[in-house]
Amino acid sequence: MDKSVLRQAQQLQAKLAKAQEELGSMTVDAAAGGGAVKVVIDGHQKVHSVEISPEVIESGDAELLQDLVMAAVNEGITKSQELAGKHLGKLTGGLNIPGLF
């Protein structure tokens, strides 16, 4: 194998590792119920915070609260996956590399 190809592959691997690390500090915000429930999720799909408005809690409607939390988290995960795809896609030239994101 040509050494320049191997070197390029190693450089790409290093760039991808750095980009994946950067995703940990990038966040997205998502909300449900008109902002009654808000979540912040990073580029690794880890939840950083959940904010629930007092009005939703005071309503005593546990099922509504569960639905709003689930909707906000699912929206946040989707946004986080899109963020990761765009961020890593810059390096891969749009190639979908399995296991990367």
C-alpha of 43 from chain center: 4
Query: pLDDT tens, 34-49?
Result: 999 999 999 999 999 9
The CA-based dihedral angle spanning residues 7, 10, 14, 20, taken in that order and rounded to the nearest 10 degrees: 140
Better pLDDT: 99 or 80 = 80
More confident residue, 1 or 2: 2
Domain residue limits, the chain: 3-92
pLDDT band at 18, cuts 50/70/90? confident
State the Cα–Cα distance between residues 41 and 36, nearest whole angstrom.
17
Using alpha carbons, select from 22, 68, 14, 76 the residue that is nearest to residue 45.
76
| 67-92 pLDDT, tens digit each | 999 999 999 999 999 998 888 887 76
pTM for the full predicted model: 0.77
Of the options 3.30.930.10, 3.40.50.920, 3.30.1310.10, 1.10.10.10, the CATH number for the domain spanning 3-92:
3.30.1310.10
pLDDT of residue 86: 87
Phi-psi region at 13: left, alpha or beta (left = phi > 0; alpha = psi -120 to 50): alpha
The answer to whether 48 touches 27, Cβ cutoff 8 Å, is yes
